[in-house]
Amino acid sequence: MSRYLSVLVITLVVAVSTSPAHQGERVCTPEQWEAVVVGKVAEQSQGKFYIVDVVGKAAADYGRGVIGLSESVFSQGQYVGSYLYLNTKSASYLADVVNKHCQKLPPVTVEQPCSDSSWLTYRTSWLVGGTQWSDTYQHNNGSSKTTFTIMRDNFAMISENVEHVIGGVPQLVTLQYGNMTKGITDPSIFNIPSYCNI
């Protein structure tokens, strides 16, 4: 199951690219934010098609260079496990919370998404509810393609779709963000589990 979590990491982590985003008044995702995340991970492996559901919480503090994703994973309605992904400036951690297993990985550079970010390519806009605009951006990183839908007025993320290949297995990750709030009310999502001190 840790493979499912590693797929979701891409949705929170940003690498540098060279395509300019939609031009207009500059707006950014808040420097610190929390959100509820729900979604699905789909993959085809050895002739079988698998889909798992993900429910959790994500948070970012771009000033400190930290992001966290705490999630529960379900397959066909059955609980599979709970996982934590944490990226700090010194290392990344991928933790199986139930079995207390942890992988320490190299840190990943995290950038605050803004409407003029060079690593985003503007694609299209949609009128939501007749009064608000959402914009769609794309980020390509090698064999991975991420499409973000973001509210134009506050640059709050609505959804992300990630298409990529991991270990020769094509995967599609779809995440929906809800209740995105500015600031961090529960900093414990950034705590490194004691069993991760490896």
Beta-sheet pairing, 66-75 with 78-87: antiparallel
Question: Tokens at residue 143, please?
Answer: 């064999």
The 3-state DSSP class for residue 143 equals coil
Q: What is the pTM of this model?
A: 0.78
E strands of the chain, at which residues? 32-45, 48-61, 66-75, 78-87, 92-96, 101-105, 121-128, 132-141, 144-151, 157-166, 169-182
- Low-confidence residues of the chain: pLDDT under 70: 1-24, 166-167, 198
Instruction: Give the ranges where the chain is alpha helix by DSSP (H).
Output: 2-12
Residue 23's pLDDT is 52
Residue 193's pLDDT is 93
Residue 170's pLDDT is 83
Sign, CA torsion 38/147/127/179 = positive
Whole-angstrom distance, CA of residue 59 vs CA of residue 106: 19
The amino acid present at 83, given as its one-letter code, is Y
Residue 52's pLDDT is 93
Whole-angstrom distance, CA of residue 94 vs CA of residue 78: 22
Whole-angstrom distance, CA of residue 35 vs CA of residue 156: 10
Residue 2's pLDDT is 45
